[in-house]
Chains A and B, each alone.
Chain A
Amino acid sequence: MPRQPLLTFTDRGICCPEGDFHIDPWRPVPRALITHGHSDHARPGHGAYLATEGSAPVIRYRLGDIRLGTIAYGERRRIGGVTVSFHPAGHVPGSAQIRVERAGEVWVVSGDYKVAGDGLSEPFEPVACHCFISECTFGLPVFRWKPQAELAADLNRWWAANAAEGRVSIVGAYALGKAQRLMASADPSIGPILTHGAVEATTAVLRAQGLALPATTHVTPGIDGKTHPGALVIAPPSALGTAWAHRIGPAAEAFASGWMALRGVRRRRGLAQGFVMSDHADWEGLNTAIRATGAERIFVTHGYTAIFRRWLEDQGYEAGIVATEYEGESLDAAEAEPGPLIEAGGEEEAGAVQGGDAPG
């Protein structure tokens, strides 16, 4: 009797029938393996969770009282008929790819990842496998990231220029990952660093687990551009242009996102400045990572899936698309309309792989 595939794709998420668990499921399941703490991957309502030691504090902070077990990077653990292990994905501190092995057959679920170092996250580790389930948020050749050091220099130049003109600098960035990357990149000799509550809370969690981050001040009533002239303010993207931001005083605003590579996107948001900074792999990064796995079968989960799949097939891979509910790097996560605004490219392929219905 033919065995079923090591991993299958269901309307709850990526499933391992023989291990009786799901990976980053989007509907409640008895047992969930979680790649990292972003809300589209670590969702509430599962019976039991397993995550790396480095991502556990944030997951616990966000999901509250859950049954959460932890595992070290590289530690092999037997679950049902399979062996699993977690390996650094370089996406945010503690983030992992999940390797699943059965009788010598290896599949790897990438979660979200980036190949280039950011100075904070454990560096991405290529894991050899037969089948690689990869994100491709920025799976187009127009996306090419600058090295971290150049980004830091750009940020500090902009910050210093604003400070010299008597303005604070507000940067919109994800509270987990990019916000801390920005802090670590900022040159503290230019001025103080202020944070929005959402950023401050997540940063506190990361500090408590031993991440070395510069001192920050939470923006509370009475803290603004007058008390902290020339400050760098780090806030979630949804806080840009709001009353909260206006209260801080005269400011220049910028958005740190891979989408800032596109001039049209930056202009549509009316931003003078954008930092092309992402915690997802760029085009080169995706291709390098996929090559390094040695895998012949690739499934892509979210991003420009239709185009990227075709590209992979051109390169000789056996490639498929899995419709998932992961959002990648959403541009307008806080806005009322559901779903990322940017063309995700994969939705018309729903059903190409079993299960995978679009969100209802």
Chain B
Amino acid sequence: MKRFATLFDLLDRTTRTSGKVAALADYFRDAPEEDRVWTIALLSGRRPKRAVNATELRSWAAEAAGLPVWLAEEVHPIVGDLAETISLILPEPTRASDRTLDDWMRMLIALTGRPAEDRRAAILDAWDRLTTPERFLFNKLITGGFRMGVSQGLMTRALAQATGVDEAVLAHRLMGDWNPARIRFETLIGAHDPEADASKPYPFALASPVEDVAALGPPSDWLAEWKWDGIRGQLVNRAGAFALWSRGEELVTDRFPDLTPLRDFLPPGLVIDAEVLAWGGEAPLPFAALQKRIGRLTVPKKLLAEAPAHLLAYDLLEENGEDMRAAPLAHRRARLEAVLAALPPGLPIAPSPLVSFDDWETLGQIRATARARIAEGLMLKRASSPYFVGRKRGDWWKWKLDPYTVDAVMLYAQQGAGRRATLFTDFTFGVRDGDDLVPFTKAYSGLTDAEFRQITDWVRKNTLERFGPVRRVPPELVFELAFEGIQASPRHKSGIALRFPRMVRWRKDKPAAEIDTLESLRALLATTGATP
């Protein structure tokens, strides 16, 4: 744990990418092997099930510190992080420990499902053996959300430096479903047992937003397609494996049983990059329809009928077991179309149609019709581009529609977390409904730190009521909010829910009397037709 704590301290104290990579690479060279595996797992978002919940942690820590629970509850939002709060309030440890990260992870896994009294004793014992920085990390291992200011890409780069294995090869090896409690470091980064590899997806190629398409050069160099509003996924069909992976590297095969017929018809040794959509027969249904299926481990028959899954395929990454990613997109695309054309009709898959265009202006006009097609905009991909690992600027661009906007007034403010713990950054907004104001959305991003500081100062001076960390404020501050979509939501008082709401502008020029109305949002809902 000490080695891991040292790594964390180094990462926390440098803002330079090179410094972070060097610290990680050193760690991957000299840390205990089991710890390296856990670190890779944690930095790629894999963590075991929570053995202890936040309420338990808080009350056990308060007890150990001789403080009332209410005090720990009050302090938590001020510090902005439960793991940190606990590490700071606990009394000094009376013992030391040279247990490794691996030891602690296994101890936590073993605690899962044990009676509360056993878990309490084990956690109190651990806290008494760890220094304040080690405790913070130990608590983070429990509460999750492990961010060390290191992306998975950066971690992969450091691992490549430490092991000499090519970065792209490593990125592929780290994909998929492996268990840090069982796999050995050498196995993870080295030669794989082909059986375990069978369902492994490739790292996703990602696009960047584009502003000025005219600067991209001759239109003939580019392929355009719709940017569908579904779930990006990779379908893997190899001998002994049929798997659907989400972009978050989650195995979601079982959630889309309506796609399993593909297993019988797709040729083996095939990997396809596609969008998973809820299908309306000829065209996709709005995202809201698909959303009902997300998060359900088993999908009831009614939903399968209402919102059948369908793939619109973008790219072909593997054919006949051969990695195609280095071939030009135009070639991969042609092979994709050929493979899908050979399938019998009626299967839930089709190529995502290319949008043909001769000049950027025409394409701009086509893009403007995206919403009617239930798309978010267009994708532009260079015809000669390989399927690269991660986000590399230059070859793949997303050209999204301008968002919708609404002017709304702040009703409640709450402190942020982590870096923004001391600022009020999470706001609830309302629109007018007759003489009333109806809360309809929350937003917490889009303003500058200076603006958040100013608003924080205002909130502190204008608090009307406190509900724990939430403050009710007078309806005076007006903001322009942007959002990507709107849908009906019986769960909300306003009856609507927005997709990706964020603040774009603080409208200091606009009085609250002139904000938008619930009626105008309902009208938008009616025209976009996005009822679930």
DSSP majority for the A interface? Answer: loop
CB pair B420–A268 under 8 Å, yes or no, is: yes
CB pair B14–A272 under 8 Å, yes or no, is: yes
Q: Which residues of A contact B453 (CB under 8 A)?
A: 332, 335, 337, 341
Task: Tell me which residues from 414 to 438 in chain B have a Cβ below 8 Å from any Cβ of chain A.
Answer: 415, 417-423
CB pair A262–B13 under 8 Å, yes or no, is: no
Nearest-Cβ distance from residue A7 to partner chain B, whole angstroms: 26
CB pair B67–A141 under 8 Å, yes or no, is: yes
Chain B, residues 321-349, CB within 8 Å of chain A (1/0): the string is 00000000000000000000000000000
**Chain A: which residue is nearest B471 at the CB level?**
A348
**Chain A: which residue is nearest B66 at the CB level?**
A141
Q: Which residues of A contact B74 (CB under 8 A)?
A: 307
Nearest-Cβ distance from residue A345 to partner chain B, whole angstroms: 8
Q: Which residues of A contact B466 (CB under 8 A)?
A: 348
CB pair B79–A264 under 8 Å, yes or no, is: yes
**Chain B: which residue is nearest A268 at the CB level?**
B419
Please tell me which one of the listed residues A143, A144, A264, A347 contacts residue B422 in the complex, with CB atoms under 8 A apart. A264
Q: Which of A272, A343, A348, A358 has the most B CB atoms < 10 Å from its CB?
A: A343
Which range holds the interface residue count of chain B? Answer: 35 or more
Chain A, residues 21-41, CB within 8 Å of chain B (1/0): the string is 000000000000000000000
Chain B, residues 54-82, CB within 8 Å of chain A (1/0): the string is 00000000000101101100110011110
CB pair B89–A141 under 8 Å, yes or no, is: yes
Chain A, residues 266-288, CB within 8 Å of chain B (1/0): the string is 01101011000000000000000
Q: Which one of B31-39, B366-374, B401-409, B457-465 contacts A? A: B457-465
Please tell me which one of the listed residues A270, A311, A332, A347 contacts residue B460 in the complex, with CB atoms under 8 A apart. A347
Q: Which residues of A contact B78 (CB under 8 A)?
A: 140, 142, 304, 343
CB pair B423–A142 under 8 Å, yes or no, is: no
- Say if the beta carbon of B528 comes within 8 Å of chain A: no
CB pair B14–A264 under 8 Å, yes or no, is: no
**Chain A: which residue is nearest B469 at the CB level?**
A343
Q: Which residues of B contact A331 (CB under 8 A)?
A: 422
- Say if the beta carbon of B167 comes within 8 Å of chain A: no
- Say if the beta carbon of B454 comes within 8 Å of chain A: yes
CB pair B421–A142 under 8 Å, yes or no, is: no
Please tell me which one of the listed residues A141, A262, A335 contacts residue B65 in the complex, with CB atoms under 8 A apart. A141
- Say if the beta carbon of A292 comes within 8 Å of chain B: no
What separation, in Å, do the CA atoms of A330 and B497 have in the docked complex? 40
CB pair A348–B422 under 8 Å, yes or no, is: no
- Say if the beta carbon of B103 comes within 8 Å of chain A: no
- Say if the beta carbon of B177 comes within 8 Å of chain A: no
CB pair B460–A339 under 8 Å, yes or no, is: yes
The count of chain A contact residues (Cβ–Cβ below 8 Å) is 33
CB pair B71–A311 under 8 Å, yes or no, is: yes
CB pair A337–B457 under 8 Å, yes or no, is: yes
Answer whether A338 and B457 are a contact pair too, CB < 8 Å, given A264-B80, A264-B81, A272-B13.
yes
Please tell me which one of the listed residues B85, B456, B457 contacts residue A142 in the complex, with CB atoms under 8 A apart. B85
Task: Tell me which residues from 70 to 116 in chain B have a Cβ below 8 Å from any Cβ of chain A.
Answer: 70-71, 74-75, 78-81, 84-85, 88-89
Nearest-Cβ distance from residue B226 to partner chain A, whole angstroms: 40
CB pair A343–B85 under 8 Å, yes or no, is: no
DSSP majority for the B interface? Answer: helix
Q: Which residues of B contact A263 (CB under 8 A)?
A: 12, 81, 84
CB pair B89–A267 under 8 Å, yes or no, is: no
CB pair B463–A347 under 8 Å, yes or no, is: yes
CB pair A307–B457 under 8 Å, yes or no, is: no
Please tell me which one of the listed residues A262, A311, A332, A339 contacts residue B421 in the complex, with CB atoms under 8 A apart. A262
CB pair A262–B71 under 8 Å, yes or no, is: no
Nearest-Cβ distance from residue A286 to partner chain B, whole angstroms: 13
- Say if the beta carbon of A65 comes within 8 Å of chain B: no
CB pair A268–B422 under 8 Å, yes or no, is: yes
What separation, in Å, do the CA atoms of A341 and B415 have in the docked complex? 12
- Say if the beta carbon of A261 comes within 8 Å of chain B: yes
What separation, in Å, do the CA atoms of A358 and B461 have in the docked complex? 8
**Chain B: which residue is nearest A283 at the CB level?**
B89
Q: Which of B75, B420, B422 has the most A CB atoms < 10 Å from its CB?
A: B422
Chain B, residues 494-515, CB within 8 Å of chain A (1/0): the string is 0000000000000000000000
Answer whether A140 and B75 are a contact pair too, CB < 8 Å, given A263-B84, A264-B418, A343-B422.
yes
Nearest-Cβ distance from residue B447 to partner chain A, whole angstroms: 14
- Say if the beta carbon of B53 comes within 8 Å of chain A: no
Nearest-Cβ distance from residue A117 to partner chain B, whole angstroms: 20
CB pair B420–A264 under 8 Å, yes or no, is: yes
CB pair A342–B463 under 8 Å, yes or no, is: no
Q: Which residues of A contact B70 (CB under 8 A)?
A: 310
Please tell me which one of the listed residues A270, A341, A348 contacts residue B456 in the complex, with CB atoms under 8 A apart. A341
CB pair A307–B71 under 8 Å, yes or no, is: yes
- Say if the beta carbon of A344 comes within 8 Å of chain B: yes
List the 7 closest pairs (A to B, CB-CB), nearest first: A142-B88, A264-B421, A272-B13, A141-B89, A267-B419, A264-B80, A268-B419
24 example contacts (A-B, Cβ-Cβ < 8 A) are as follows: A141-B75, A141-B89, A142-B78, A142-B79, A142-B85, A144-B88, A264-B81, A264-B419, A264-B422, A265-B421, A265-B422, A268-B422, A307-B71, A311-B71, A337-B453, A337-B454, A339-B460, A341-B422, A341-B423, A342-B422, A343-B422, A344-B460, A347-B463, A348-B466
Q: A263-B81, A331-B422 are in contact. List 6 more A-B contacts (CB 8 A).
A: A142-B89, A143-B88, A262-B422, A264-B79, A268-B423, A342-B422
